[in-house]
């Protein structure tokens, strides 16, 4: 299994839809996870941190399944402004210990 | 106030030249990073410094040399630039590493002619 793996998408959804992304990771010792959002030609920005089973912030919910080694991001009532690439981030293990490993991202496009 | 600032924002130069990118953070963080994001949008770590000490040095050509004069600054010098160096370079900082989120600068877009 790759260190971090995401479906690249694109996910094309209408405004108001609910959309979910999954991310699998290989380092079973990972304790903290993050979802970042990156707009076109911009820097990644922290969306949510996940330290236990999950986290919720408004329309965004992140869930962690340690047994299956995946985290998910659920976006409810999608807005046009949610269009971006969503990066799953996990701590590195083995030779990468000490740094964060960024997934290649899942692209979301919300249409009117 | 910009938390993590990089200069320059755009850098267009010819193959073979030497260039530097500067990064400063005013968040009081003790760890800083350089990432490279290539045309395929894959964000890959290059270096990490914790309290001015090199912590992570991924497989990067030795033409790339980071320097951290203090824990608020991490500069990147690149010698003998090559076409493959064209990318967006992001600086980031965090308090500690691995368990804590990172804050990114807005990137330096390097284009090699």
What residues in chain B have their Cβ under 8 A from chain A's Cβ atoms? 33, 35, 40-45, 48, 55-56, 90, 97-107
Each residue's pLDDT expressed in tens, for chain B with a length of 113 residues: 669 999 999 999 999 999 999 999 999 999 999 999 988 888 999 998 988 888 877 778 999 999 999 999 999 999 999 999 999 999 999 998 767 788 999 999 999 99
pLDDT at B53: 85
Q: Which of A27, A43, A62, A89 to mutate to test the interface with B (most CBs of B within 10 A)?
A: A43
Q: Are B32 and B74 in contact (CB under 8 A)?
A: yes
Contact criterion met (CB < 8 Å) for B105 and A43: yes
List of residues 6+ apart from B61 with CB closer than 8 A: none
Q: What DSSP line would sit under A39-100, residue for residue?
A: -TTS--EEEEEE-SSEEEETTEEEEEETTTTEEEEEE-S--GGG-EEEEEEEE--GGGTTSE
pLDDT tens digit sequence for A51-78:
887 889 999 999 999 889 999 999 999 9
């Amino acid at each position: 299994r790759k260190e971090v793996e995401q479906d690249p998408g694109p996910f094309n959804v209408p405004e108001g839809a609910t959309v979910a992304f999954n991310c699998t990771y290989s380092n079973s010792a990972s304790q903290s996870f993050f979802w970042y959002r990156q707009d076109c030609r911009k820097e990644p920005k922290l969306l949510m941190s996940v330290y236990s089973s999950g986290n919720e912030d408004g329309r965004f919910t992140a869930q962690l399944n340690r047994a299956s080694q995946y985290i998910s991001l659920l976006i409810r009532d999608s807005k046009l402004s949610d269009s971006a690439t969503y990066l799953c981030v996990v701590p590195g293990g083995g030779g990468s210990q000490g740094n964060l490993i960024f997934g290649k991202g899942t692209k979301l496009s919300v249409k009117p | 106030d910009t938390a993590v600032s990089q200069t320059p924002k755009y850098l267009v130069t010819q193959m073979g030249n030497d260039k530097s990118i500067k990064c400063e953070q005013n968040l009081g963080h003790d760890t800083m990073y350089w990432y490279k994001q290539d045309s395929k949008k894959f964000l890959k770590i290059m270096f990490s410094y914790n309290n001015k000490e090199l912590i992570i040095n991924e497989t990067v050509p030795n033409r790339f040399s980071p320097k951290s004069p203090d824990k608020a600054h991490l500069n990147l010098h690149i010698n003998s630039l090559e076409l493959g160096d064209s990318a967006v370079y992001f600086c980031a900082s965090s308090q500690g590493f691995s368990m804590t989120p990172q804050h990114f600068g807005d990137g330096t877009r390097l284009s090699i002619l």
